[in-house]
Amino acid sequence: MVSLGCPKALVDSERILTKLRSDGYGLSPDYAGADVVLVNTCGFLDSAKEESLEAIGEAIAENGRVIVTGCMGNEADVIRARFPNVLAVTGPHQYEAVVGAVHEAAPPVPSPFVDLVPEGGLKLTPRHYSYLKISEGCNHRCSFCIIPSIRGDLASRRPDAVLREAEKLVAAGTRELLVISQDTSAYGVDLRHKAWPWKGGEVRAHMTDLARELGRLGAWVRLHYVYPYPHVDQVIPLMADGLVLPYLDIPFQHAAPSVLKAMKRPANEAKVLERLRTWREICPDIAIRSSFVVGFPGETEADFQYLLDWLDEAQLDRVGAFRFEPVEGAAANALPGAVPEAVKEERYARIMEKTAAISAAKLQARIGRTLDVIIDLVDDDGGATGRSKADAPEIDGEVQLRDTAGLKPGDIVPVLIEDADDHDLFGVPLQAA
C-alpha cells in the first residue's frame, strides 16, 4: 500500500487494509513481494496530483499490477491516459470497489479452518438462490407509502460492485439471482447512468446494462419491483434471448385512473395493456406478476369493477391483493371516502376469485409442456418441490414433482407437466418419465 495525502486518506487506507486483512491478505513491505499494489492518491493540488502520478508510475515500474484509489481517482481518464495498464481506478471512500478490485486481481484463497465468514457471506436463504439488492430508497411519493421517509431517496450501488457481489454468489453455489430494490427500473438515475470499467469494457448504471451483464454469469436472473417505464421494453429481448428469466414483478397497485391519481401513481393503464401485448409478442413465455390494493380511500364500486375488467384484459400470471390499511405517516390517511371494512373484504374475495380463475386457465395450458424447474426441496419419499421460471420463491406457485431420485436442491431439470390446479403445477422429471 502506498498512501499519499491527508490524514483522511490515511484513514481510508486503514479501512481498506483492515477489510483486506479480514479477507486473509497480508501486507507486503516491498514491491517485490506483493501480488498487487494499492496506490491511494491525493488530488487536492496540482503538485499533489503530480506526486500521485509519480507514485503510480513507480509502482508500475517495480511491480506492474497496480490498483489506484483516492481523490485523484475521480480523474480516471488522466490516470489511464498516462498509465493504460493500471488494473482498476476508483474514487475516494469507495472501499467496496477497491476490495473487489483486489479480489479480482489476486483472488483470496478460502480456508474453512480460519475463515469466520464462508465464501459468499452468511445467508438466510437456501444456498441455491440469493437476493441481490441494487439500490436503496425511492424517488416516488405514493400517498400510501412511507418508504422514502424511512430509507430516503433513490441511492444506487455502482454496477461493478453489484456484479462483483453477483459473481461471488454464483461462485459460492447460487443458481438464481433475485434482483431487488424499491424501484428496479430507476436503477442508476441518481448516478446519471454513468459507466464504470468492467471485464475489459464498460457497464452503465442502468437496469438494461446490469441485467445483461448479470445474465452472462450463468445463473437465473429474476427482476423484482419493476415500474413499467419506457426503457423496460429494452429488457424484454434479453428475456427472449435467454439472458434474463421471462418474468417481471410490476407493482401496478390499481387500474382505475381516479384511484391511481389518489395513490399518486401513473394513470396510463391503457398504454400498459398495449405494452403487455407487445412484450408477449416478443417473448411469448413472459410471466407478469403484480399486486393490487382494494378498498383504497375513495374507491367506488365502479372503480373496483374497472379493475376487474382490466384484469380480464391484462391476463396477469400471478396476482397478490391487499386490503388497504392506514400506515402511520402516510398521506393517504387523510383522504376522504374511507371504504368500510366489510366492503374491503367483499372486494378482496372477488379479486382473488377472479385472479385464481385466470391463473388456473394459464396453468392448465402448460399441461403437456416441458419446463425447466429449479429444485427447492427434496422429500424422503421420492417427491420434490421446485419452481418454474414463472415462479419466484415464497410468493408465487410451485411445481410438485414425483420420482425425483438423485435430485438435490439447486438442480435445474426439465420437467414434463402432468397436471395443474389454481396456483401450482404437477410433473415428473424427464429422466424419470
b/e for 386-423, b at 16 or more Cβ within 10 A?
bbbbbbbbeebbbbbbeebeebebbbbbebebeebebe
pLDDT tens for 334-365 read 899 999 999 999 999 999 999 999 999 999 99
Binding region for [4Fe-4S] cluster: 6, 42, 71, 138, 142, 145
In DSSP notation, 169-220 reads HHHTT--EEEEE-S-GGGTTTTTTT-EEEETTEEEESSHHHHHHHHHTTSSE
Rg of the chain taking only CA atoms, in angstroms:
26
* pTM confidence score: 0.75
pLDDT value for 333: 86
pLDDT tens for 87-107 read 999 887 787 889 989 999 998
Domains and CATH numbers, the chain: 2-105 (no CATH), 129-364 (3.80.30.20), 370-429 (2.40.50.140)
pLDDT value for 269: 61
pLDDT value for 123: 74
Long-range contacts of 277-286 (CB under 8 A, 24+ apart): 278/233, 278/236, 279/233, 279/236, 279/248, 282/236, 282/237, 282/239, 282/240, 283/236, 283/237, 283/239, 283/240, 283/246, 285/246, 285/389, 285/390, 286/236, 286/239, 286/246, 286/247, 286/248
Task: For the chain, list residues with pLDDT below 50.
Answer: none
pLDDT value for 152: 86
pLDDT value for 268: 62
pLDDT value for 258: 93
pLDDT value for 421: 94
Binding region: 6, 42, 71, 138, 142, 145
Determine the angle formed by the axes of helices 7-22 and 95-105, rounding to 10 degrees: 50
pLDDT value for 277: 95
